[in-house]
Amino acid sequence: MTMKKSLTIISILLVFISCDEKKNTFRDANDLYQSKAYKQAEKEYRRVLTMDSTYSKAFFNLANARYRQGDTTAMETAMNNWQKAYDLFDEKDSLAKSSVIYNQGNVKFKQAIDTSYFPPSYNYGLLKEAAEDYKKVLRQFPNDTAARYNLTLINHLLSQQPKNNKKNKQQQQDQQQQQSQNQPQQPQQPKQQQPPQSAAQQKQNKDKEDINRMLEALKNNERNTLKKLKKNEKKQPNKYQTDKDW
Protein backbone atom coordinates (compact mmCIF):
# COMPACT_ATOMS: atom_id res chain seq x y z
CA MET A 1 0.00 0.00 0.00
CA THR A 2 1.40 3.35 -0.99
CA MET A 3 1.85 6.22 1.45
CA LYS A 4 -0.75 8.29 -0.43
CA LYS A 5 -3.40 5.57 -0.09
CA SER A 6 -2.58 5.13 3.60
CA LEU A 7 -3.04 8.85 4.26
CA THR A 8 -6.34 8.81 2.38
CA ILE A 9 -7.65 5.90 4.49
CA ILE A 10 -6.54 7.60 7.71
CA SER A 11 -8.28 10.82 6.67
CA ILE A 12 -11.52 8.95 5.94
CA LEU A 13 -11.34 7.17 9.30
CA LEU A 14 -10.84 10.49 11.12
CA VAL A 15 -13.90 11.93 9.37
CA PHE A 16 -16.01 8.95 10.46
CA ILE A 17 -14.73 9.23 14.04
CA SER A 18 -15.52 12.96 14.08
CA CYS A 19 -19.04 12.36 12.74
CA ASP A 20 -19.69 9.69 15.37
CA GLU A 21 -18.49 11.99 18.13
CA LYS A 22 -20.76 14.79 16.89
CA LYS A 23 -23.79 12.50 16.70
CA ASN A 24 -23.12 10.99 20.13
CA THR A 25 -22.66 14.39 21.73
CA PHE A 26 -25.82 15.66 20.05
CA ARG A 27 -27.73 12.61 21.31
CA ASP A 28 -26.40 13.15 24.83
CA ALA A 29 -27.48 16.80 24.67
CA ASN A 30 -30.98 15.76 23.61
CA ASP A 31 -31.19 13.31 26.51
CA LEU A 32 -30.17 16.05 28.94
CA TYR A 33 -32.80 18.34 27.43
CA GLN A 34 -35.51 15.71 27.82
CA SER A 35 -34.54 15.26 31.48
CA LYS A 36 -34.90 19.06 31.92
CA ALA A 37 -31.18 19.58 32.58
CA TYR A 38 -31.22 22.62 30.31
CA LYS A 39 -27.91 24.20 31.33
CA GLN A 40 -26.03 20.93 30.83
CA ALA A 41 -27.84 20.40 27.52
CA GLU A 42 -26.80 23.89 26.43
CA LYS A 43 -23.17 23.05 27.18
CA GLU A 44 -23.34 19.88 25.07
CA TYR A 45 -25.04 21.62 22.13
CA ARG A 46 -22.25 24.18 22.19
CA ARG A 47 -19.74 21.33 22.09
CA VAL A 48 -21.48 20.00 18.99
CA LEU A 49 -21.20 23.40 17.34
CA THR A 50 -17.46 23.49 17.96
CA MET A 51 -17.31 20.31 15.86
CA ASP A 52 -19.67 21.63 13.18
CA SER A 53 -20.53 25.32 13.14
CA THR A 54 -23.14 24.80 10.39
CA TYR A 55 -25.20 22.19 12.24
CA SER A 56 -28.67 23.75 12.04
CA LYS A 57 -30.31 21.26 14.41
CA ALA A 58 -27.76 22.03 17.12
CA PHE A 59 -28.49 25.77 16.82
CA PHE A 60 -32.22 25.06 17.00
CA ASN A 61 -31.93 22.85 20.08
CA LEU A 62 -29.46 25.21 21.73
CA ALA A 63 -32.05 27.96 21.34
CA ASN A 64 -34.67 25.77 23.00
CA ALA A 65 -32.35 24.96 25.90
CA ARG A 66 -31.70 28.68 26.41
CA TYR A 67 -35.41 29.51 26.10
CA ARG A 68 -36.26 27.02 28.84
CA GLN A 69 -33.93 28.80 31.25
CA GLY A 70 -36.33 31.71 31.17
CA ASP A 71 -34.34 34.84 31.98
CA THR A 72 -34.16 37.88 29.68
CA THR A 73 -30.63 37.15 28.47
CA ALA A 74 -31.61 33.56 27.74
CA MET A 75 -34.55 34.75 25.64
CA GLU A 76 -32.31 37.03 23.58
CA THR A 77 -29.78 34.25 23.02
CA ALA A 78 -32.56 31.87 22.04
CA MET A 79 -33.88 34.31 19.44
CA ASN A 80 -30.41 34.71 17.93
CA ASN A 81 -29.75 30.97 17.76
CA TRP A 82 -33.16 30.25 16.26
CA GLN A 83 -32.36 32.81 13.59
CA LYS A 84 -29.04 31.07 12.87
CA ALA A 85 -30.88 27.77 12.57
CA TYR A 86 -33.43 29.38 10.25
CA ASP A 87 -30.68 30.70 7.99
CA LEU A 88 -29.02 27.27 7.85
CA PHE A 89 -32.15 25.21 7.24
CA ASP A 90 -32.76 24.12 3.66
CA GLU A 91 -35.08 26.52 1.84
CA LYS A 92 -37.40 23.61 1.04
CA ASP A 93 -37.70 22.59 4.68
CA SER A 94 -40.77 24.72 5.42
CA LEU A 95 -41.57 22.67 8.51
CA ALA A 96 -38.28 23.50 10.21
CA LYS A 97 -38.39 27.16 9.21
CA SER A 98 -41.99 27.49 10.41
CA SER A 99 -40.96 25.99 13.76
CA VAL A 100 -38.40 28.76 14.19
CA ILE A 101 -40.99 31.43 13.38
CA TYR A 102 -43.48 29.87 15.79
CA ASN A 103 -40.94 29.81 18.63
CA GLN A 104 -39.91 33.40 17.97
CA GLY A 105 -43.58 34.36 18.09
CA ASN A 106 -43.86 32.71 21.50
CA VAL A 107 -40.96 34.77 22.85
CA LYS A 108 -42.49 38.02 21.57
CA PHE A 109 -45.88 37.04 22.99
CA LYS A 110 -44.37 36.31 26.39
CA GLN A 111 -42.28 39.49 26.42
CA ALA A 112 -45.33 41.58 25.45
CA ILE A 113 -47.05 40.82 28.76
CA ASP A 114 -45.78 42.67 31.83
CA THR A 115 -47.11 40.96 34.95
CA SER A 116 -45.09 43.00 37.45
CA TYR A 117 -48.40 44.52 38.53
CA PHE A 118 -52.07 43.76 37.96
CA PRO A 119 -53.88 44.25 35.72
CA PRO A 120 -50.89 43.54 33.47
CA SER A 121 -49.71 45.97 30.83
CA TYR A 122 -49.23 44.92 27.23
CA ASN A 123 -46.67 45.90 24.63
CA TYR A 124 -49.07 46.05 21.71
CA GLY A 125 -46.24 46.45 19.21
CA LEU A 126 -44.74 43.12 20.29
CA LEU A 127 -48.17 41.50 20.30
CA LYS A 128 -48.63 42.55 16.68
CA GLU A 129 -45.20 41.16 15.76
CA ALA A 130 -46.05 37.84 17.43
CA ALA A 131 -49.38 37.78 15.56
CA GLU A 132 -47.53 38.20 12.26
CA ASP A 133 -45.26 35.26 13.15
CA TYR A 134 -48.25 33.01 13.83
CA LYS A 135 -49.86 34.14 10.57
CA LYS A 136 -46.71 33.17 8.66
CA VAL A 137 -46.88 29.70 10.21
CA LEU A 138 -50.56 29.35 9.32
CA ARG A 139 -49.92 30.30 5.70
CA GLN A 140 -47.64 27.27 5.45
CA PHE A 141 -49.64 24.99 7.76
CA PRO A 142 -53.30 26.09 7.98
CA ASN A 143 -54.16 23.24 10.37
CA ASP A 144 -51.61 24.25 12.99
CA THR A 145 -53.87 24.41 16.05
CA ALA A 146 -51.21 25.81 18.41
CA ALA A 147 -50.40 28.78 16.18
CA ARG A 148 -54.10 29.42 15.56
CA TYR A 149 -54.90 29.30 19.27
CA ASN A 150 -52.09 31.74 20.14
CA LEU A 151 -53.16 34.06 17.34
CA THR A 152 -56.71 34.01 18.69
CA LEU A 153 -55.44 34.99 22.16
CA ILE A 154 -53.43 37.87 20.72
CA ASN A 155 -56.35 39.12 18.63
CA HIS A 156 -58.47 39.12 21.80
CA LEU A 157 -55.86 41.20 23.65
CA LEU A 158 -55.47 43.58 20.70
CA SER A 159 -59.24 44.07 20.56
CA GLN A 160 -59.07 45.41 24.13
CA GLN A 161 -56.31 47.89 23.31
CA PRO A 162 -57.41 51.28 24.68
CA LYS A 163 -57.26 54.31 22.43
CA ASN A 164 -54.49 56.76 23.21
CA ASN A 165 -53.09 54.12 25.55
CA LYS A 166 -49.97 56.09 26.50
CA LYS A 167 -51.96 59.23 27.29
CA ASN A 168 -54.52 57.33 29.36
CA LYS A 169 -51.80 55.59 31.34
CA GLN A 170 -50.07 58.87 32.16
CA GLN A 171 -53.38 60.43 33.21
CA GLN A 172 -54.07 57.47 35.49
CA GLN A 173 -50.63 57.81 37.10
CA ASP A 174 -51.13 61.56 37.61
CA GLN A 175 -54.53 60.96 39.23
CA GLN A 176 -53.13 58.33 41.58
CA GLN A 177 -50.27 60.64 42.57
CA GLN A 178 -52.67 63.53 43.21
CA GLN A 179 -54.94 61.35 45.33
CA SER A 180 -51.96 60.13 47.33
CA GLN A 181 -50.83 63.71 48.03
CA ASN A 182 -54.31 64.85 49.07
CA GLN A 183 -54.93 62.01 51.52
CA PRO A 184 -53.69 62.65 55.09
CA GLN A 185 -51.49 59.96 56.57
CA GLN A 186 -53.45 57.57 58.78
CA PRO A 187 -52.04 56.15 62.00
CA GLN A 188 -51.13 52.49 61.74
CA GLN A 189 -53.88 50.18 62.90
CA PRO A 190 -53.48 46.76 64.44
CA LYS A 191 -53.73 43.98 61.88
CA GLN A 192 -57.25 42.67 61.59
CA GLN A 193 -58.64 39.53 60.10
CA GLN A 194 -59.21 40.02 56.38
CA PRO A 195 -62.86 40.06 55.33
CA PRO A 196 -64.06 37.51 52.78
CA GLN A 197 -63.05 38.35 49.21
CA SER A 198 -65.58 40.21 47.15
CA ALA A 199 -66.73 38.92 43.78
CA ALA A 200 -64.50 41.53 42.11
CA GLN A 201 -61.45 40.35 44.08
CA GLN A 202 -62.21 36.73 43.25
CA LYS A 203 -62.47 37.63 39.55
CA GLN A 204 -59.16 39.50 39.72
CA ASN A 205 -57.47 36.48 41.30
CA LYS A 206 -58.93 34.24 38.62
CA ASP A 207 -57.67 36.60 35.91
CA LYS A 208 -54.19 36.47 37.44
CA GLU A 209 -54.28 32.68 37.43
CA ASP A 210 -55.45 32.62 33.81
CA ILE A 211 -52.60 34.92 32.70
CA ASN A 212 -50.02 32.89 34.63
CA ARG A 213 -51.31 29.69 33.02
CA MET A 214 -51.12 31.31 29.59
CA LEU A 215 -47.50 32.40 30.18
CA GLU A 216 -46.57 28.95 31.46
CA ALA A 217 -48.15 27.39 28.39
CA LEU A 218 -46.12 29.70 26.15
CA LYS A 219 -42.98 28.62 27.97
CA ASN A 220 -43.74 24.93 27.63
CA ASN A 221 -45.09 24.58 24.09
CA GLU A 222 -42.11 25.70 22.05
CA ARG A 223 -41.25 23.43 19.17
CA ASN A 224 -38.36 21.37 20.30
CA THR A 225 -36.19 19.18 18.16
CA LEU A 226 -37.64 18.17 14.83
CA LYS A 227 -37.25 14.40 14.78
CA LYS A 228 -40.64 13.77 16.40
CA LEU A 229 -42.10 16.72 14.52
CA LYS A 230 -41.26 15.16 11.17
CA LYS A 231 -42.68 11.80 12.30
CA ASN A 232 -45.91 13.53 13.31
CA GLU A 233 -46.04 15.33 9.99
CA LYS A 234 -45.98 11.98 8.15
CA LYS A 235 -48.85 10.72 10.28
CA GLN A 236 -50.83 13.98 10.09
CA PRO A 237 -49.84 16.08 7.08
CA ASN A 238 -49.80 19.86 7.56
CA LYS A 239 -50.48 19.63 11.28
CA TYR A 240 -48.09 20.51 14.11
CA GLN A 241 -48.05 19.12 17.61
CA THR A 242 -47.72 21.58 20.48
CA ASP A 243 -44.59 19.88 21.80
CA LYS A 244 -42.00 19.10 19.17
CA ASP A 245 -38.67 17.32 19.44
CA TRP A 246 -35.79 16.69 17.12
User: Residue ranges of the alpha helices (H) in 123-246?
Assistant: 124-140, 145-159, 165-182, 199-220, 226-235
Please state, in angstroms and as integers, the Cα–Cα distance from residue 186 to each residue in 143, 145, 170, 211, following that order. Answer: 59, 54, 27, 35
Q: Please, what is the average pLDDT of the chain?
A: 76
The confidence band for 243, taking pLDDT boundaries of 50, 70 and 90, is very low
What pLDDT score was predicted for residue 170?
A: 59
Distance CA 136, CA 144 (A): 11
Convert the pLDDT of each residue in 227-241 to its tens digit. 545 555 555 443 333
Q: Within 13 Å of residue 184, how many CA atoms lie on the same side as its CB?
A: 2
Q: How many CB atoms lie within 10 A of CB 169?
A: 12
What pLDDT score was predicted for residue 206?
A: 61
Distance CA 191, CA 46 (A): 54
Convert the pLDDT of each residue in 21-61 to its tens digit. 899 999 999 999 999 999 999 999 999 999 999 999 999 99
pTM for the whole thing?
Answer: 0.67
Using only C-alpha atoms, the chain has a radius of gyration, in whole angstroms, of 25
The three-class DSSP label of residue 85 is helix
